[in-house]
């Protein structure tokens, strides 16, 4: 059985083929009539052909407006039998060269209708053909034949056509039945193949790791959903691109080992990721090597945690060192500073000697500031965790910064982008202000020569609040960005390199995350994430925390103004 769309397509195809055959037959018959003496009446023949054309166009219109396709097929077969009979009669009856159109109609009936209709069409063709021959023989209708056989010869011709029509009906029905069986088997196999292909695609698309396939030339042919999420690009953006151009490091070659290779990737939001990439050859048994398969997963968080662990170890070591040497240095330093101060009051000193003593005094003060930062970094500090709103803390910091920038005429503009009206966290508000002020101070120092814009944004990111401080300064190379929160990484003149190390301790005490994004010539962004609290529901744990003691002990000291480590 054909589907509705198949039946409509077959009927449309039948109309188009009929029109083509009619045009060819009309041209041939007109040429025969013109070039050879023939009793064929031209005007009746043309009238019959035009009528057949009109019927064909009518059937074409009927297909588009009437959904009874089985009935339309019956009407077309019956109309074709009638028109073939008329054309055969007008072109000579028994002498007509167009009686081969009867078998064509029988074949069409076998294709469009059940097998019984093939035999019915053969019977109708036999009756109609025999009728016009009998009527021509007895002179009941005008005859256009050149020959006039006897009755027995005429009967032989009729019965030979009867055998031919039924033989064609049988063979056509048998062939169409076989074709329909094959069509059903093909559709079944095609459906199974589509299901298998869909299963394979679903498996690839459901994998948690990224998968990219390429051709032999290295251009991408397939990307699964995980790869699109990791690369933060759509399939349209990735398809056809060279896979080597996506990453900042060379991809591993075939045979590089099961561990693959680690490569860096710069995402569209300028956040650099680290992927582990493994490559294999895409092989098909019957067709050989078709390209390559790249499987990769994200190691960014793992590597970040590793760096944090190493940094915490170094911070702890530096903290212990600071606590040990600070006291040993401060006492002699105080004695040196006092002695120099007394010497500077001696009236017999020359101008040059006074200048040298001023240098000693200034450097002693600077060394004392460094020691003060050491002590602030190493001493344990108490945190008073309360339910606080981040927006007032940010506004206070930025307002104070704007007044200072206006007074200094620094040419630096502060831009706010707060996506929420309230951002509640469990934190020590004073310590967070130190973090905010340090980020702002570093941004101002980065832009103090040429001016620029400090963009501060706050919004939701999963279960956290994300705060971003982005400047338009000169930026930093990747090597410096990775070590920005380590002690003694100052990039500014006069800085001790402990400011951001203290910031890191404060954020760790708040169980938050902080990192820097930077690119040379494109500015620097500091990103801070703190765990989000849901409005009034957060007051219960805050109250419980305060009731339990109102304080938690951390390992972060107060940040001095000398600790301006650039990030």
Mean pLDDT, residues 62-66 taken together: 77
Mean pLDDT, residues 328-334 taken together: 74
- Tell me what pLDDT residue 530 has: 94
User: What residue spans of 66-114 are helical by DSSP H?
Assistant: 69-90, 101-112
Residue 496 has pLDDT above 60, yes or no: no
- Tell me what pLDDT residue 165 has: 85
pLDDT in tens, 169-192: 888 888 888 887 887 888 888 778
Distance (Å, rounded) from C-alpha 482 to C-alpha 476? 10
**DSSP structure string for 105-167:** HHHHHHHHS-HHHHHHHHHHHHHHHHHHHHHHHTTSS----S----HHHHHHHHHHHHHHHHH
Provide the residue ranges of all domains of the chain, joining segments of one domain with +.
4-187, 210-298, 303-378, 381-554
- Tell me what pLDDT residue 254 has: 76
Mean pLDDT, residues 200-220 taken together: 84
Please tell me which residue, 455 or 135, carries the higher pLDDT value.
Answer: 455
pLDDT in tens, 84-138: 888 888 887 787 777 788 888 888 888 777 888 888 988 988 888 888 888 887 8
Q: Of 170-174, 282-286, 324-328, 389-393, which gets the smallest average pLDDT?
A: 324-328
- Tell me what pLDDT residue 290 has: 79
Mean pLDDT, residues 235-263 taken together: 82
User: Where does the pLDDT of residue 549 fall: very low under 50, low under 70, confident under 90, or very high at 90 and above?
Assistant: very low
- Tell me what pLDDT residue 489 has: 65
First to last CA, the chain: 74
Please tell me which residue, 21 or 175, carries the higher pLDDT value.
Answer: 175
Mean pLDDT score across all residues of the chain:
79
Query: What percent of the chain lies above the pLDDT cut of 90?
Result: 13
Q: Of 73-77, 241-245, 307-311, 420-424, which gets the smallest average pLDDT?
A: 307-311
* Cα of 36 vs its chain's centroid, Å: 71
Distance (Å, rounded) from C-alpha 493 to C-alpha 343? 29
- Tell me what pLDDT residue 416 has: 92
CATH class of 381-554: alpha beta
Distance (Å, rounded) from C-alpha 422 to C-alpha 412? 27
Mean pLDDT, residues 19-46 taken together: 74
Mean pLDDT, residues 468-480 taken together: 88
User: Where does the pLDDT of residue 562 fall: very low under 50, low under 70, confident under 90, or very high at 90 and above?
Assistant: very low
Domain 303-378, architecture per CATH: Orthogonal Bundle (1.10)
DSSP character at residue 390:
H
- Tell me what pLDDT residue 492 has: 59
pLDDT in tens, 503-536: 888 898 898 999 998 888 888 999 999 999 865 4
Please tell me which residue, 6 or 465, carries the higher pLDDT value.
Answer: 465
Q: Contact 387/538 with Cβ under 8 angstroms?
A: yes
- Tell me what pLDDT residue 465 has: 94
Task: Provide the CATH topology of domain 210-298.
Answer: Beta-Lactamase (3.30.450)
Q: Taking the complete model, does pTM exceed 0.75, yes or no?
A: no
């Amino acid at each position: 059985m054909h589907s509705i769309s198949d039946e409509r397509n077959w009927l449309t195809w039948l109309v188009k083929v009929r029109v083509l055959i009619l045009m060819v037959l009309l041209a041939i018959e007109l040429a025969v009539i013109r070039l050879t003496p023939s009793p064929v009446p031209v005007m009746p023949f043309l009238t019959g052909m035009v009528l057949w054309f009109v019927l064909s166009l009518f059937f074409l219109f009927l297909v588009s407006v009437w959904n009874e396709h089985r009935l339309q097929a019956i009407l077309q077969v019956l109309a074709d039998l009638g028109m073939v009979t008329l054309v055969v009669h007008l072109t000579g009856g028994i002498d007509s060269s167009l009686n081969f159109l009867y078998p064509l109609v029988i074949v069409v009936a076998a294709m469009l209708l059940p097998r019984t209709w093939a035999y019915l069409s053969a019977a109708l063709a036999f009756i109609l053909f025999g009728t016009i021959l009998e009527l021509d023989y007895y002179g009941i209708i005008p005859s256009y034949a050149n020959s006039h056989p006897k009755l027995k010869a005429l009967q032989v011709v009729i019965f030979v056509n009867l055998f031919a029509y039924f033989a064609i009906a049988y063979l056509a029905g048998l062939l169409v039945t076989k074709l329909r069986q094959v069509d059903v088997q093909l559709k079944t196999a095609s459906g199974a193949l589509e299901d298998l292909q869909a299963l394979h695609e679903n498996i690839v698309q459901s994998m948690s790791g990224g998968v990219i396939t390429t051709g032999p030339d290295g251009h991408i042919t397939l990307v699964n959903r995980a790869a699109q999420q990791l690369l933060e690009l759509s399939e349209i953006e990735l398809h056809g691109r060279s896979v080597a151009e996506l990453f900042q490091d060379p991809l591993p070659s075939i045979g590089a080992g099961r561990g693959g290779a680690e490569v860096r990737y710069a995402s569209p939001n300028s956040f650099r990721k680290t992927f582990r990439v493994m490559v294999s050859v895409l092989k098909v048994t019957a067709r050989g090597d078709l390209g390559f398969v790249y499987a990769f997963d994200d190691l960014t968080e793992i590597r970040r945690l590793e760096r944090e662990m190493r940094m915490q170890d170094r911070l702890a070591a530096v903290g212990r060192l600071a606590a040990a040497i600070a006291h040993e240095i401060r006492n002699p330093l105080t004695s040196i500073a006092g002695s120099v101060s007394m010497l500077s009051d001696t009236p017999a000193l020359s101008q040059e000697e006074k200048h040298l003593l001023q240098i000693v005094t200034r450097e002693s003060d600077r060394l004392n500031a460094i020691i003060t930062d050491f002590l602030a970094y190493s001493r344990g500090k108490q945190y008073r965790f309360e339910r606080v709103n981040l927006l007032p803390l940010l506004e206070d910091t930025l307002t104070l910064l704007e007044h200072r920038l206006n007074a200094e005429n620094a040419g630096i503009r502060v831009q706010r982008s707060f996506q929420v009206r309230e951002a509640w966290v469990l934190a020590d508000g004073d310590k967070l202000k130190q973090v905010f002020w340090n980020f702002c101070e570093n941004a101002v120092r980065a832009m103090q020569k040429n001016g620029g814009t400090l963009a501060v944004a706050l919004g939701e990111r999963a279960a956290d609040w994300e705060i971003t401080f982005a400047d338009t300064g000169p930026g930093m190379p990747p090597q410096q960005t990775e070590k920005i929160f380590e002690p003694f990484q100052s990039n500014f003149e006069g800085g001790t390199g402990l400011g951001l190390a203290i910031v890191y301790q404060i954020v760790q005490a708040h169980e938050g995350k902080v990192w820097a994004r930077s690119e040379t010539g494109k500015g620097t962004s500091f990103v801070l994430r703190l765990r989000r609290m849901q409005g009034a529901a957060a007051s219960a744990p805050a109250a419980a925390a305060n009731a339990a003691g109102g304080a938690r002990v951390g390992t972060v000291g107060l940040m001095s103004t000398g600790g301006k480590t650039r990030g």
